[in-house]
Amino acid sequence: MAEQLALFGGPKAIPNAFKPYSAYGPEETRAAAAVIESGVLSKFLGEWDPDFYGGPKVQEFEREWAKWFQVPHAVSVNSNTSGLIAAIGAIGIEPGDEVIVSPWTMCATATAILVWNAIPVFADIESETFNLDPAAIERKITPRTRAIVVTDLFGHGAKLDAIMTLAARHGLKVIEDAAQAPGGLYQGKYVGTWGHIGVFSFNYHKHIHTGEGGMCVTSDPVLAERMQLIRNHAEGVVGDKGVSDLSNMIGFNFRMGEIEAAMGIEQLKKLKGLAAQRARSGALLSEGLKGFKGLRTPPVKEGCSHLHYVYPMLLDIGAIGVPRAKIIEALKAEGVPMVSGGYTVLYRLPMYQKRMAYGKHGFPWSADFYKGDVSYAPGNCPNAEELHDATMLNLYTAAHHYNDDEVALVLKAFRKVWDGLDQLRRGA
C-alpha cells in the first residue's frame, strides 16, 4: 500500500528545506574587501579617456572571460538585459526592422529589441529542448528581418549550427542569449560563442553570480567597440574618439563596478566545477526518474552538454490522469521546490496584445517606419502555448545546485508521489 502523501497528512519525503545555493567562498570576500580597501569602486569615465574602459578589475575580468571562452573580445555590463540592449544596438538595428526571438524565455530577451524601436517577431520552439526551432525561424523571415536573438534555454544550447547556417543564407545577425548556459558546449564549441555576439548573466540565481552583472563576447572588433560605446555614454565619446558610424550611438550607463568584477574573476575560476555539478545533478535525476509513467526528462543532444539552470520535464496528463497543478501541489507538499511553467508565452503579455510600448498610441508598431504586420494572435507558436498551458513542470533542482544526497531526496519524493497517484485521483 502506498504511503500517505504529505498533501493529505502524511510525513514529508524531504523534512527540511535544502540550504540555499551559493557559489561564494572566502575568495570572493577577500576580493571584494581588497577593492573596498583600494578606494577604487569604479573607474569609468563617460568621455574619451583611458578610463573610458573602466577600472583595473573590470578590464581584468574581461580579459579572463575572453580567455576562458576562447574569444577575442569580452565587454562587461551591469546585467544580461543591458548586454542584450547593447548587442542589438551594436549590430545596427534600425527602427522598424524585425528581429526574430523565442516566445519562451525571460521577457527582457524580447524587450531589448523594442528599446531600439525594432519589432519582435516570435517563432515557435522545438518540443525537446524548448529552444528556437530553425524551421519555425525560417517561416518568420520577411524582407524586414535583420537579426535573430536565440536563447540557449535552461542550460542546453539551441540548434546553433543550423541557426547560423540559416542566418548566413539570409544575411542575418545572430545574438545568443546564453544567460542560462555559461560553460555549456554545443558540438564541442562553447555556447554563447556561436553567434555574432553572445551575452551571459551573473545575477543571483545563475551558475556564477556577482549580485548583478553580465558579459558580452564577440569575435568582431567593430561590434566590441560599439558595445563599449553603448555601454558608456556613446554620444559623449564618439567625437573625440573619432567614430564615424553614429548609428545607435545613444549611450547608457551599463557599466560594471569593480567589486562585481573582482568577485566575477573568482567566480570564473569555479565555473568548470559548478557547471559539472549541475550537469551531474541533472543526469542523476534523469537516471532516477527513468520509467516514471507520463514523465519525460530533459534530453541531452549528442555533442552537447546540459547545465540544468532548471530541470524542465514534460508531463503527459492523459497518461497519469492527474492535473499538472495537483502534481505540483503534491511535490511541493513533499518538500520539492517546484514552479508551474516558469515563463509565460511572451506575446501574451499586455504590451504585445495591446501593441503599446512607448506612449499611448501603439508605438513602435503604429509608426510610419514599420511596414510589416506581425501577428501576436493565439496559435502563433503552438508548442510554446501547449508547454505553458498544460504540459511543463520546472524543478528548480540545479538552481539550488543539489548535491547527490539532495538529489536522492528529490527522487524519493517523486517516487512517493507517483506511487500515490491513486490518492491524487481520489483527492484523499
pTM comes to 0.95
CB 23 within 8 A of CB 351: no
Specify if 398 maps to a domain.
no
pLDDT tens readout for residues 7-35: 999 999 999 988 877 788 999 999 999 99
Q: Which residues contact 14 (CB under 8 A, 6 or more apart)?
A: 334, 335, 336, 409, 410, 412, 413
Q: Which residues pair with 190 in a beta bridge?
A: 185
Query: How much is the pLDDT for 395?
Result: 64
For residue 149, the number of C-alpha atoms closer than 13 Å in the C-beta half-sphere is 35
Q: What's the rounded Cα separation, in Å, for the pair 61 and 156? A: 25
Specify if 328 maps to a domain.
no
Query: How much is the pLDDT for 396?
Result: 58
Specify if 68 maps to a domain.
yes
Specify if 183 maps to a domain.
yes
Query: How much is the pLDDT for 20?
Result: 79
Q: Provide the CATH number for the domain around residue 241.
A: 3.40.640.10
Which phi and psi angles does 129 have, rounded to 5°?
-95, -10
Specify if 167 maps to a domain.
yes
Distances (CA, A) of 159 to 124, 177, 302, 370: 13, 13, 11, 30
Specify if 287 maps to a domain.
no
In total, how many domains does the chain have? 1
Q: What's the rounded Cα separation, in Å, for the pair 339 and 392? A: 9
Q: Which helix (H) or strand (E) holds 388?
A: none
Q: What's the rounded Cα separation, in Å, for the pair 354 and 350? A: 6
Strand order in the sheet with 98-101: 73-77, 214-218, 197-201, 173-177, 145-151, 98-101, 119-122
Query: What is the domain range of residue 183?
Result: 26-267
Q: What's the rounded Cα separation, in Å, for the pair 67 and 74? A: 9
Specify if 74 maps to a domain.
yes
Specify if 334 maps to a domain.
no
Successive 10-residue mean pLDDT values, the chain, 428 residues = 91 91 89 97 96 98 98 98 98 98 96 98 95 98 98 95 98 97 95 98 89 97 98 97 96 96 97 92 94 93 91 88 90 86 87 96 97 96 88 60 89 96 87
Q: What's the rounded Cα separation, in Å, for the pair 325 and 7? A: 13
Q: What's the rounded Cα separation, in Å, for the pair 27 and 37? A: 15
Query: How much is the pLDDT for 340?
Result: 57
User: What nine digits make up the cell of 271?
Assistant: 565555473
Q: Any idea what the Cα angle at residue 32 is, between residues 29 and 38, rounded to 5°?
A: 135
